[in-house]
Amino acid sequence: MAVLHTEGGFLRDEVGRVVLLRGANVSGRSKLPPFLPFDDPRWFDPLAEWGMNAIRLLVTWEAIEPERGAYDDAYLATIASLARAAGARGLHVVIDFHQDLFARSFGGDGAPAWAVSQPGRAATGREWFWYYGVSGGVQRSFAAFWRDENGLRTAFIAAVAHTMRKLADVDAIVGYDLFNEPMAPLAELVRGRFEREWLADFHRACVRIRDAHAPGRVLLVEPTPLVAFGAPTSLGELDGRDIAYAPHLYDATALLASRFLPRLSTFPRALAAVAATSRARRWPLVIGEFGVLNGVALADRMIEDQCSRLDRAFASWLVWHYNPTDVDWNAEDASIVSPGGGERPWTGALVRPFPRALAGTPLRWESRPDRTWTLEYKAHGSAPTELTIPARWSPAPRVAITGGEASLDGPTLEIRADPGAHVRVELRR
């Protein structure tokens, strides 16, 4: 697997080509014991067959350190094995330290029981997200964590460092997302203090620990999950190399109405906002989560619309989520496959062409409803551009190209062009 780095606002491979990630979170089942997405690594096969090239592989602090100071290395060995299996299928792996509502005792996942500062009633069902605002136990536990009371944040960072050391020889791992959807007491969120101070300080610690224990891996930085619905970010300044901006994006209107309403969708405005932050910081944009939650009607149209917008933004993405098992955490009904691996109505919209390695400066990338797909770029370097064209999108695509020469080998369209050439590629089914 290629080692990735960041430069000029993009992920790049070892020869400087722009790399876009297309894949899925694996998976919501990992929020519950045994904290693994599935038992058989052959479940990665469909993702590779769809032309995807990445997964966001969930782990939890509880699974890594169930008792304080005692790490479960057998669990980490299984994670390493899964990551290698994904890599063998051409899938880049981002390790995601996942949490929701801080811990399982609150109806969420993430922290071990010994890290919970104040008990509270557990949320159930699809309304679990509201517990961030109404559960005193959740808010108190987050406050204690970010303030490092009783050494909680220090313990978490130590668990991250241990994990990085144990996974250091897994070549498929290209990055780490060290805290899923960071939240805090509402007063600190509203004032912006949380992102400016507490979260920025945590991210600086993450840079140090990545540099010490996982050099050569990209660090994916998340704002609060409120950004997913269009809220502004107050994310503090952060220095360091190989950093990507990894917000989540969900359509708040669709969640509230249980239906995709294009004219009222919050997704376009939220995408514009996170893209602006990405450009301002010159960080690659990696959408760590987006997708269908809670049984939204017209979900296939919604995902097609969202993927087309992400294409135009040259954004990497990892859809929430790929879960072929019968374990559905909090009844979210969000998996892109049903139990046993059957496709959902919106799965097909995710299987689409994309430039997995682009040798040049991206200029335009657009996918239209008539399934015409257009890429334009200014060529650089001697390496070829590689486009993935999934067989199920079109087994025999029609290709028109100017500015370069193309050859099709299975699902890969290889393009060679002289440096400085303006290359335009059009694909039709």
- Tell me the Ramachandran region of residue 336: left when phi exceeds 0, alpha when psi lies from -120 to 50, beta otherwise: alpha
Residue 412 lies in a domain: yes
Report DSSP state, residue 19: -
pLDDT at residue 333, as a whole number: 93
Burial (CB count <10 Å: 0-12, 13-18, 19+), residue 67: exposed
Angle made by CA atoms 214, 112, 132, in degrees to the nearest 5: 100
H helices within 44-91, ranges in order? 45-49, 61-64, 73-88
Task: Assess whether 212 and 75 both reside in one domain.
Answer: yes
Please check whether residues 40 and 168 belong to one and the same domain: yes
Q: Does this model's pTM top 0.75?
A: yes
Number of domains in the chain: 2
Q: Residue 429: what pLDDT?
A: 86
Q: What integer pLDDT is reported at residue 20 of this predicted model?
A: 98
**Domain end (from 288, 319, 351):** 351
Cα–Cα distance measured from residue 321 to residue 337, given in angstroms and rounded to the nearest whole number: 8
In the block, tokens 């017209």 appear at 298
Same domain, 369 and 297: no
Q: What is the CATH number of the domain that holds 338?
A: 3.20.20.80
From the CA atom positions of the chain, what is the Rg in Å?
21
Does 9 map to a domain?
no
DSSP state of 97: E
Same domain assignment for residues 374 and 310: no
Residue 157 and residue 194 in one domain: yes
Statement to judge: residues 395 and 278 lie in one domain: no
Residue corresponding to tokens 């190399």:
241
- Residue 134: what residue type? V
410/294 same-domain check: no
Model confidence pLDDT, tens digit, residues 154-210: 999 999 999 999 999 999 999 999 999 999 988 888 888 899 999 999 999 999 999
In 3D, which of 120, 28, 101, 38 has the Cα closest to residue 328?
28
> Hey, what are 339's tokens?
């139990």
Element (H, E) at 137: helix 136-146
pLDDT digits (tens, 9 = 90+) for 343-365: 999 999 999 999 999 999 999 99
Distance CA 208, CA 307 (A): 34
For residues 243 and 343, membership in a common domain is answered with: yes
Among residues 326, 351, 376, the one where a domain terminates is: 351
pLDDT at 48: 97
- Backbone region of residue 363 per phi and psi (left: phi > 0; alpha: psi in -120 to 50; beta: other values): alpha
Cis check for the bond before 234: say yes or no (omega within 30 of 0).
no
Could you tell me if residue 55 is inside a domain? yes
Is residue 246 domain-shared with residue 377, that is, in the same domain?
no
* Plot region of 103 (φ>0 → left; ψ -120 to 50 → alpha; else → beta): beta
Would you state the pLDDT for residue 294? 83
Place of tokens 């950093």: 243
Q: What per-residue confidence (pLDDT) applies to 188?
A: 85
Which domain, by its residues, includes 43? 15-351
Asked whether residue 196 falls in the same domain as residue 180, the answer is yes
Q: Extract the residue ranges of the chain whose pLDDT is less than 50.
A: none
Q: Identify the domain boundary among 309, 331, 351.
A: 351
Q: What angle do CA 49, 181, 90 make, to 5 degrees?
A: 20
State residue 1's pLDDT score. Answer: 60
In a domain, 132, yes or no: yes
